[in-house]
Structure 1
Amino acid sequence: MKNKVRNVLAWLPAALVMTSIAMSAKASEKGDEQTLEPVVDNSCGIISVYRQPPEAKNIYPVNINKIDNFVVPDKSAQFQLSPGTHKIKLIELISDSYFTRRRGDMKNFKDFEIVIEPNKKYYLGAKYVRKNRSKLKTGEYWEPIVWKTTDMDCSMKS
């Protein structure tokens, strides 16, 4: 079963929007035999980088670079995803006065796995780990997190 990804701003080509298929048992008209028929599941959840995270808690904004290995536009702020596990590549946007960016090797991106539940919205951010602020090459200075989750109706259009 393949997951589907849909940007609320409709950036993905239709060929990449994959429908999740569930199988349901249905009694046939000829007797008690049951057959499996596909049922289209249009439920979804949303990931967002739109709202400002609480910097007082060392949580900073992120950009989404890839979802399930598909590159996404730079300025896209939220995406509808089918329920299930998705792999997100995030880029941190930490702007703390104690944090110094240096030229050269810096791991400011990380892969993040998230389990999407139907009718939930997940706000993503970068948790700044101050004690590791000098560990730029290994990326130990930050962790991708879900800093807020809310309930909301979500249904993908076929």
Structure 2
Amino acid sequence: MNDVSTGFGSRVGALLIGGCVAIYASAAVADGAALASRVAPLAAQTDSSLGVSPEQRLQEELRVLLLDMIESGAFGQTPSEQISFSIDSPRQRASSLGVLVDSSAGAAAVKGLQVVGTTPGSSASRLGLRSGDVIASVNSVSLAGLGDDANGSARAALVLRDQLESLPDNATIEFELIRDGKPKSISGTLESAWIPALHLTVGDGVAVAAAGQSGGSGSTSAGKGCGRLSIFDVAPRQQNLHAAALINIDGERSPFGGQEVFRLSEGRHVLTVGEKIKAKYLAFNEVFRNSNIKNPYKTLEIDVAPNTTYFLAVRLIQDKRNVWRDGAYWEPVIWSESTEACG
């Protein structure tokens, strides 16, 4: 999340629902209409970028993002010539509503989420959502008076996002609004987009786990080929899949340093895995969760085939989501595979 300072006093948040970006703008404003006037230049900037090729636009945005990460210390003291990592993501569906809402705090969403603006051509714009509307409910799920989330933002924004993520392709979506002080209902079809499979390498090559170079002490029937293991968190939450923490490979912990893709030799490998399930999905608090200190990790054996990437996640077991002892509520899984060359 980036803080965009405009030189004003108080801080108001706007969350882009259906995407991966949260925008926080400093502004001393009394209502959503005033805040919307500050969001308008963002929409204009988006329109102006349509004249460049997708490759040029993506390259420029990646350059800005990497510069921000370097300046913020995300890579620590690693010299730029030594920064190397790879991001792999399978083809995935994205249900994007395209609405900016005031998610600064629960107090800002007592009656529901206030709409700050919509992105041009989005589902929100097509459905008729507009600045100043207050979204009181979505598909009969109330967004009013839900208070703050763990970060102090409006919990209603998370509820709205979860509702969108759970909908199938071309699902009907219904909003109960407050517009100009009066109740109003709108409905329509939420259009989904498919994001193509992604393989992005930053730096001179793929960061390699030490265990993957030698095959690891736990490797058996090792061949000459290699595959990859990805812990990049793109697992679909509607399938009860969540982020995994990779602790070691074949009993050997490498200086992972934030890398998310690992090259492994062909053959069997043993992974030690931890869970990174967000607290909102669990039926118990962090005190119980952290009490399982004797055995917080689980192992998973995988047979790596040549030129195959394996996507690691953890599955939340729904009928045991309140059983915190011995970590009964989760298990490590390979949830997806893709074929790609591994040199």
- Which TM-score applies when normalising by structure 2? 0.34
Q: Separation in 2 of the partners of 1:130 and 1:11?
A: 33
Q: Separation in 1 of the partners of 2:320 and 2:329?
A: 5
Please identify runs of 4+ aligned residues in structure 1 that moved more than 4 A.
none
Q: Which residue of 133, 136, 139 maps to 2:327?
A: 139
- Which TM-score applies when normalising by structure 1? 0.70
1:63/1:74 contact within 8 Å kept? no
2:213/2:263 contact within 8 Å kept? no
Q: Which residue of 243, 258, 268 maps to 1:75?
A: 258
Aligned to 1:18: 214
- 1:151 paired with 2:333, answer no
Structure 2 unaligned segments of length 5 or more: list them: 1-204, 217-222
> For the pair shown, which has the larger CA radius of gyration, 1 or 2?
2
Cα distance change of structure 1 residues 55 and 74 upon mapping to structure 2, 3 Å threshold: farther
Alpha-carbon offset, residue 78 of structure 1: 1.1
- 1:9 paired with 2:207, answer yes
Higher relative contact order (CA 8 A, sep 6+): 1
Q: Which residue of 303, 308, 318 maps to 1:120?
A: 308
Aligned to 2:225: 43
RMSD: 2.5
Aligned to 2:248: 66
Q: Deviations over 1:36-89 (max 9, x none)?
A: xxxxx6420000011411011100010111000111325121111111110001
Alpha-carbon offset, residue 96 of structure 1: 5.2
2:296/2:326 contact within 8 Å kept? no
Higher strand residue share: 1
Aligned to 1:4: none
1:64/1:74 contact within 8 Å kept? no
Cα distance change of structure 1 residues 97 and 117 upon mapping to structure 2, 3 Å threshold: same
Structure 2 residue identity aligned to 1:134:
N
Alignment coverage as a number of residue pairs = 127
Higher helix residue share: 2
- 1:104 paired with 2:291, answer yes
Q: Which residue of 243, 264, 267 maps to 1:84?
A: 267
Q: Separation in 2 of the partners of 1:51 and 1:45?
A: 18
Structure 1 unaligned segments of length 5 or more: list them: 1-6, 21-40
Q: Separation in 1 of the partners of 2:318 and 2:279?
A: 10
Aligned to 2:156: none
